[in-house]
C-alpha cells in the first residue's frame, strides 16, 4: 500500500505499510524474461560482437577507504528518516488508515527507525536498569513514564528479558495500549521481539506498521538518494567484471546495459535497508587514479565507482562446528537486540566461561559487535543474513522478515 506521499520521501521508498502487507522482494520471471529478450534484440540490432563489447576486468580493485565510503555510500540521515516517518503517519491518519494515539512501527534490525525516533522533539522513554518487576512494580513504573506530552520509545526489545520475571513490564505496556491509556507516542519494535510477543500473547492488537521492503527498483533509488547527499551530484556505479550499470537507477530511456546486482542484493537482504546498505558498502571499489568531473568551485560533479559481483563477495558466516548453545545465544541476542554478558547468562542459563568462548568466536566471525559504552553484544548487518538462516535451519523461531 503506497501512499500519496511516496514521491516526497526518497529516504523512505514505499512509505509505511500495515505489517500484514509486508512481503520479501520476489524475482519476477516475466520481467526477467522480458529484460533478457530485450537485451538480445538490442545486441542483434546493433550488430555488436563480443570483441567490440570487450571489457577489461577490474576485479582486483581495492576496497574503498572510509572517506570514500562516506562519499559514495554514506550512512542514512536519521533526522531525515524521522521527518519522513512523521509525514507518512500524518498522511495515513488523514486517509483514515491509521487512527491510533500510539503508533507502533515493527521493523527488522538495522532499519534505522530507532535512531530516527531519537531525533524527534519528544520525550524519550528509556528502559529501566531493572527489568525483573512484579505486576504492581511495572504498573507503577509506567504511571511515572506515560503522561500527557508526546513521547517516543526507541526500541521495545530493551524493555524485557525472556525470563519468568522479565515479562511483566511489556505485559503492562501492551495492556495500556489496548485500553488507549498510554498517551501519544511512537514505538519502534524489533521484528524479532514482535515475533516472540505475538506468539506468546496473540491477543495483542496495536495496528502495527512497518517500512515497505526495498525491491531492486526501490533499492537503487534509495542508494542513489544517499550518494547524492542532498547536493544533486550524480553517481555512476558499474560492475567490475563486465561494466554493466547498477547506478544511476534504470529508466525507460536508459540505453546502457544494467546488471542484476541490485536484484540479487535486494533478495539477499530480504528487502532490509540496513543489511543491503552494509553489503553495498563492502561491494564498492574505485580506481585510485580516477578523477571525477569538477565543478567551477573544484568539488566533484560526478562520481564513478565499481561494484564487485555478488558471488565474489566475502560475507560473514556462522563458524562450522557451532553447537546448540551457539544457536541459543544468537537467538537470545536477536530477541532483545542487544544483551550484556550478565543478561545473556540470565536468559540462556549458560555459564559465563562458555558464553565468553562463544562470543569471542562470534566477534571474530563478524556476527556480533560489543558496544564500547554498555558492553552489550548486538548483531551486525553483514552477519545478519547468515545468523537468520542458521537459526531458521535449526528450528528456532525467526522473525517474519
Tell me the per-residue pLDDT of 45-61, one tens digit each, with 9 for 90 and over: 444 434 334 556 666 77
Looking at the predicted structure, is the pLDDT value of residue 177 above 70?
yes
Express each pLDDT in 296-308 by its tens digit: 454 555 678 899 9
Residues 105 and 159 placed together within one structural domain of the fold: yes
The CA distances from residue 159 to 127, 261, 328, 397, in Å, are 5, 39, 20, 20
- Where does a domain end: 157, 184, 206? 206
Looking at the predicted structure, is the pLDDT value of residue 378 above 60?
yes
Nearest CA-CA partner of 17 in 389, 271, 200, 276: 271
**Which whole number is the average pLDDT over 302-325?**
89
Q: How far apart are CA 198 and CA 18, in angstroms?
A: 15
Looking at residue 9, its pLDDT comes to: 77
Residues 223 and 297 placed together within one structural domain of the fold: yes
More confident residue, 4 or 70: 70
Please give the mean pLDDT across all residues of the chain. 87
Express each pLDDT in 202-212 by its tens digit: 888 899 999 99
What is the H or E stretch that residue 304 is in? strand 302-307
Looking at the chain, the whole-number percentage of residues with pLDDT higher than 90 is 69
Domain assignment present for residue 151? The answer is yes
| CATH number of domain containing 373 | 1.10.10.10
Domain that holds residue 133: 99-206
| β-pair partners for 258 | 245
Give, to the nearest 10 degrees, the angle between helix 352-364 and helix 341-348: 120
Number of domains in the chain: 3
Helices (H), 95-242: 113-117, 135-145, 168-178, 191-200, 216-228
Looking at residue 70, its pLDDT comes to: 87
Lowest pLDDT segment from 285-289, 314-318, 368-372: 285-289
Cell of 377: 553484544
**Which whole number is the average pLDDT over 240-260?**
91
Looking at residue 235, its pLDDT comes to: 86
**Which whole number is the average pLDDT over 330-345?**
97
**Secondary structure (3-state) at 209:** strand
More confident residue, 134 or 297: 134
**Which whole number is the average pLDDT over 85-92?**
95
Amino acid at each position: 500500500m503506497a501512499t500519496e506521499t511516496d514521491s516526497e520521501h526518497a529516504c523512505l521508498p514505499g512509505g509505511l505499510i500495515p505489517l500484514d502487507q509486508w512481503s520479501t522482494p520476489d524475482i519476477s520471471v516475466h520481467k526477467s524474461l522480458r529484460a533478457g529478450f530485450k537485451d538480445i534484440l538490442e545486441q542483434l540490432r546493433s550488430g555488436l560482437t563480443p570483441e567490440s563489447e570487450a571489457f577489461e576486468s577490474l576485479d582486483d580493485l581495492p576496497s574503498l577507504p572510509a572517506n570514500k565510503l562516506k562519499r559514495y555510500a554514506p550512512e542514512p540521515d536519521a533526522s531525515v528518516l524521522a521527518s519522513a516517518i512523521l509525514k507518512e503517519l500524518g498522511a495515513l491518519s488523514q486517509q483514515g488508515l491509521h487512527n491510533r494515539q500510539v503508533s507502533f512501527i515493527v521493523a527488522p534490525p538495522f532499519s534505522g527507525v530507532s535512531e530516527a525516533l531519537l531525533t524527534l522533539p519528544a520525550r524519550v522513554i528509556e528502559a529501566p536498569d531493572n527489568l525483573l518487576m512484579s505486576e504492581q512494580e511495572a504498573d507503577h513504573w509506567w504511571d511515572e513514564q506515560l503522561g500527557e506530552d508526546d513521547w517516543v520509545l526507541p526500541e521495545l526489545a530493551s524493555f524485557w528479558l525472556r525470563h519468568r520475571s522479565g515479562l511483566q513490564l511489556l505485559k503492562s505496556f501492551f495492556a495500556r495500549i489496548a485500553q488507549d491509556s498510554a498517551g501519544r507516542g511512537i514505538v519502534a519494535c524489533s521484528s524479532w521481539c514482535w515475533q516472540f510477543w505475538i506468539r506468546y500473547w496473540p491477543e495483542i492488537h496495536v495496528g502495527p506498521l512497518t517500512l515497505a521492503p526495498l525491491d531492486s527498483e526501490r533499492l537503487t533509488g534509495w542508494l542513489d538518494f544517499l550518494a547524492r547527499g542532498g547536493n544533486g551530484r550524480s553517481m555512476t556505479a558499474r560492475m567490475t567484471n563486465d561494466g554493466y550499470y547498477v547506478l544511476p537507477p534504470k529508466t525507460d530511456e536508459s540505453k546502457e546495459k544494467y546488471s542484476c546486482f541490485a536484484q540479487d542484493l535486494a533478495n539477499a537482504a530480504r528487502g532490509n535497508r540496513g543489511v543491503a546498505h552494509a553489503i553495498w558498502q563492502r561491494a564498492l571499489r574505485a580506481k585510485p587514479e580516477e578523477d571525477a568531473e569538477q565543478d567551477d568551485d573544484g568539488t566533484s560533479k560526478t562520481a564513478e565507482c565499481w561494484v564487485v559481483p555478488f558471488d565474489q563477495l566475502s560475507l560473514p558466516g556462522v563458524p562450522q562446528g557451532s553447537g546448540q548453545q551457539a544457536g541459543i545465544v544468537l537467538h537470545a541476542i536477536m530477541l532483545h537486540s542487544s544483551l550484556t554478558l550478565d543478561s545473556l547468562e540470565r536468559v540462556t542459563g549458560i555459564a559465563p566461561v562458555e558464553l565468553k568462548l562463544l562470543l569471542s568466536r562470534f566477534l571474530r566471525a563478524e556476527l556480533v559487535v560489543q558496544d564500547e559504552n554498555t558492553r552489550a553484544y548486538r548483531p551486525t548487518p553483514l552477519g545478519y543474513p547468515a545468523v537468520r538462516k542458521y537459526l531458521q535451519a535449526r528450528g528456532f523461531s525467526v522473525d517474519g522478515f
